[in-house]
Amino acid sequence: MTALRFNILHRCSESAARVGRVETLHGGFDTPAFMPVGTKATIKGLTPDHIRGTGSQAILNNAYHLMLRPGDDVIARLGGVHRFMRWDGPIVTDSGGYQAFSMSDINRIDEDGVTFASVVDGATVHLGPERSMEVQNNLGADIIMAFDDCPPSPEAWEGETSKCQNVKMSKGGRAKPQAAVGDYLARVRLANERTVKWLARCVKAHRRPDEQALFGIVQGGTDEQLRRESLEAVCNVELPGYAIGGVAVGEGTEMIRKVVELTAPLLPESKPRYLMGVGYEHDIVAAVRAGVDMFDCVLPTRNGRNGNVFTRGGGLRLRNAEFREDDRVIEADCDCLACGGLMSRAYLRHLLMSDEMLGPILASIHNIRHFQRLLLDIRAAIRENGWPRFFERWAAARTREGAC
């Protein structure tokens, strides 16, 4: 049995984009694919039938949250995360490292991983390559991610090196930015080294390689040479897929694009390429055209919960007074539960203004469907070499103007 198969079905004639299909033991998904994020084994407010209704074929869960609550051991005893949340399609879990680094007020990083205070109960928790594999083996997702060291962007770089010396410090107490380029490069170089060492430990610790496909993650920050070095080291390990990590961690759109366009084409041609945590429509389209196959992002759900919805022409803030008596659906030809169900912007605004759960739920459903429709059109554009028509149709994919 193979945990993952990937077939490329069509190649774009004018870019590095490709249409393919990933198959896992829990079914397959078409690529390029967008995966909505179900952090705590739930896409906030959506029942499994609603998730399916958005056309989502695969979803992402966060190992960090689930290891803390209800506990990966609990989920393992209950039959794994598919059975736990009753999502029978493909699931990806991340390694937990990114959240452990970024979400805890107090953490400490060393050669064995990261030690942090649990957001649930403040308990001291250690997460390293072996434990991350144990957690992800317990959860049982179809695609699992290597435990990597993800350095901040140059912009977010704030005296981070102090952490490497095992000095405990709170987020609030960090020193002001001292973005010396040399320091930043040293931090990225250290991350590269750790990432590849930890990858070897992940491969060794992974107990279910026949059921769960382990993806390696390329780091290297925004530096071309360090990206190349990380890519070479990570791809030197034979794995079912590879991800571009360390992107969308605070750097701008242009830099995201530059890094992706450098990295994606160098990843193994026959393996799925996954750009983690990205992004807006224009980010996704640029990455697809650079050869990326998989995406996850919290944008549709997080923005939806705030009442901000996507349309092909740009975003709408549904709480705005202008929508008070707007009888139109969010987007005229959208087939999501809200638009297809003929729910008006006025009704959605009423729900949002009244703090009614149904507002965030319907906005999230619409937004996820928006991204799935984007990916449907992207796949069609690749197959039919239809990019001019695609860009005509998706104004939001051309520019950042429409970002909601």
Active site residues per annotation = 94, 296
Based on the shown chain and the rule CB under 8 A, indicate whether residue 168 belongs to the binding site for a second copy: no
Measured from the CB atom, the residue of 85 and 233 that comes closer to a second copy is 85
Shortest distance, position 390 Cβ to a second copy, whole Å: 31
Backbone dihedral angles phi then psi of residue 53, each to the nearest 5 degrees: -60, -20
For the purposes of burial, counting CB atoms within 10 Å of the CB of 25, is it exposed (0-12), middle (13-18) or buried (19 or more)?
Answer: middle
Instruction: Please select the residue that binds a second copy; options are 2, 9, 27, 74, rule is CB under 8 A.
Output: 74
Shortest distance, position 351 Cβ to a second copy, whole Å: 6
CA 223-229-233 angle, 5° bins? 145
Residue at 120: amino acid letter:
V
d(CA 44, CA 27): 23
Instruction: Please select the residue that binds a second copy; options are 105, 322, 356, 384, rule is CB under 8 A.
Output: 356
Shortest distance, position 337 Cβ to a second copy, whole Å: 6
Shortest distance, position 26 Cβ to a second copy, whole Å: 16
Question: Which ranges of 22-71 would DSSP assign to H, the alpha helix?
Answer: 48-53, 63-68
- β-pairing, 106-110 vs 169-170, is antiparallel
Stretch that binds a second copy, among 5-13, 83-91, 247-255, 392-400 (CB under 8 A): 83-91
Cα distance between the two ends of the chain: 43
Residues within window 26-55 making contact with a second copy, judged by CB under 8 A: 40-42, 44-50
d(CA 189, CA 83): 40
Query: Per-residue contact track with a second copy, 235 to 264, x per CB under 8 A?
Result: ------------------------------
Residue at 335: amino acid letter:
D
Based on the shown chain and the rule CB under 8 A, indicate whether residue 343 belongs to the binding site for a second copy: yes
Shortest distance, position 91 Cβ to a second copy, whole Å: 14
Instruction: Please select the residue that binds a second copy; options are 118, 253, 344, 385, rule is CB under 8 A.
Output: 344
CB 191 within 8 A of CB 157: no
Backbone dihedral angles phi then psi of residue 270, each to the nearest 5 degrees: -90, 0
- Measured from the Cβ of residue 333, the count of other Cβ atoms closer than 10 Å reads 9
Measured from the CB atom, the residue of 84 and 310 that comes closer to a second copy is 84
Task: Give the helix/strand (H/E) hosting 241.
Answer: strand 241-244
Stretch that binds a second copy, among 237-245, 258-266, 352-360, 376-384 (CB under 8 A): 352-360
Instruction: Please select the residue that binds a second copy; options are 85, 127, 199, 352, rule is CB under 8 A.
Output: 85
- Region of 173 (left: φ > 0; alpha: ψ -120 to 50; beta: rest) is alpha
Residue at 271: amino acid letter:
K
- Measured from the Cβ of residue 15, the count of other Cβ atoms closer than 10 Å reads 17
Shortest distance, position 265 Cβ to a second copy, whole Å: 40
Measured from the CB atom, the residue of 53 and 154 that comes closer to a second copy is 53
Shortest distance, position 126 Cβ to a second copy, whole Å: 22
- Give the three-class secondary structure for 17: coil
The strand pairing partners of 60, in sequence order, are 37, 92
Walk across the sheet containing 4-11 and list its strands.
4-11, 18-24, 27-31
Measured from the CB atom, the residue of 9 and 357 that comes closer to a second copy is 357
Measured from the CB atom, the residue of 73 and 392 that comes closer to a second copy is 73
Instruction: Please select the residue that binds a second copy; options are 27, 79, 250, 265, rule is CB under 8 A.
Output: 79
Query: Per-residue contact track with a second copy, 289 to 328, x per CB under 8 A?
Result: -----------------------------------xx-x-
Chain contacts with a second copy (rule: CB under 8 A): 40-42, 44-50, 65, 69-70, 74, 77-79, 84-86, 324-325, 327, 337, 341-344, 346-347, 349-351, 353-354, 356-358, 360-362
